[in-house]
Amino acid sequence: MTDAILPRVVPAPARTDRRRTGLIELALAVGGFAIGTGEFATMGFLPDLARTLDISEPTAGHVISAYALGVVVGSPIIAVLAAKLHRRTLLIGLMGVFALGNLLSALAPGYHALLGLRFLTGMPHGAYFGVASLVAASLAPAGGRARAVGRVMMGLTIATVVGTPLVTLLGQSLGWRLAFAGVGGVGLLTVLLVALFVPTSSATASSPLVELGALRRPQVWLTLGVAAVGSGGVFAIYTYVSSTLTQVAGLPLALVPAALVLFGLGMTAGNVVGSKLADRALMPAIAGVLAWDAAVGAVYACAAHNPWTAAEALFLVGCGFAILPGLQTRLMDVAADAQTLAAALNHSAFNVANALGAWLGGITVAAGYGWTSTGSVAAALPALGLAVFGVSAALERRAKA
């Protein structure tokens, strides 16, 4: 009788917890949106930047390289030096530096100042995504870590579909300075959202020496090797996609942005599917995505001769982003108590993949094999990454035996 008159209050806390977790993930994803928009949009207004600063376009391209170098260098340094900070504090600081770097980039008086500011702006990139992924995973149930990471990364993938085209248009029509200022504004919004929604209990119980311990773990290096090599194929295609679409597929230059949106939609779809697969079976999911990437790279070399099939293939190439939530989760498993450094290094590894894919793709094109030869590079690098992954899996099985 008593049970019949008592109100059913048990589900309410669960709904509250889900709502709070959703707000935390949204705050973290907005930061990913800001970073993704700032990183990719620069390529779109590079000619305007070169003209304004009175430098050549290849020279202007160094500002992109400076940002990437900042990511590679900043990730391990920040992860180690800031190991004792609360994760919430660290996230606010990282996004604050990113926002300030973009706002100052908008005011850069010349090329060399901009070069240094883009390096500074890139430094928080990897550490932010690493720490954000750890916070999201810590709030997820046991079988939902990869999907939590995927929801944070959704900000990055949506940036390629929405943020990058908008900021590119802004930069082309109103100037690159206003574009950088806009990205800085989204960074400041992230600072506010993180301060409001991420709990102060999100802390690291670590130290610089503990974090450096990740570098003594072979499985950490092997997983980073999978990211650095296996993901290079996507970037081999993406770096030269405009020339391939216009000169091989015959696509009008005005339609290239639409094709790039397809690539971003592929990234978004891959992120959703890849995170679900990783939660179901982590190791098979990683191996499966690498095999997928190798197959799509081979198909791209043939599909690129027709605008319709090239666009479809570009969507499939973007789906290769499915590997990121799985690799991020794998690093959490193999890094043990040094998760911050390992998680941050994952994004350094992806920037290495970017440089490696672009370099090898450029070599094949320069050697006279044509723009479609980037598809061959995109097939070979995931195959090599799959070999590295095989070594990692074999060593893990031997250790458990």
List pLDDT tens digits, range 54-66: 887 667 777 877 8
**Does the pLDDT value for residue 235 go beyond 90?**
no
List, in order, residues 6 or more apart from 34 with CB less than 8 Å away.
95, 98, 99, 155, 159, 163, 183, 186, 187, 189, 190
Of the candidate ranges 2-16, 24-38, 109-123, 188-202, the one whose mean pLDDT is the lowest? 2-16
pTM: 0.79
> For residue range 361-394, what is the model confidence (pLDDT) as tens digits?
888 888 888 888 889 999 999 999 999 999 999 9
Q: Which residues partner with 203 through β-bridges? A: 86
Burial per residue of 241-252, b for 16 or more beta-carbon CB atoms within 10 angstroms, e otherwise: bbebbbebbebe
The better pLDDT of the pair 325, 191 is held by 191
Q: List 86's β-bridge partners, or say none.
A: 203
pLDDT at residue 252 is higher than 90: no
Q: Which CATH class is domain 1-205?
A: mainly alpha
pLDDT at 12: 40
29: three-class secondary structure by DSSP? helix
Intervals of CATH 1.20.1250.20 along the chain: 1-205, 209-401
Higher pLDDT, 289 or 3: 289
261: phi then psi, degrees, rounded to nearest 5: -65, -40
The correct answer on CATH 1.20.1260.120 for the domain covering 209-401 is: no
Dihedral sign from CA coordinates of 255, 256, 257, 262: positive
Strands (E) across 185-313 are located at none
Name the DSSP class of 84.
Answer: T
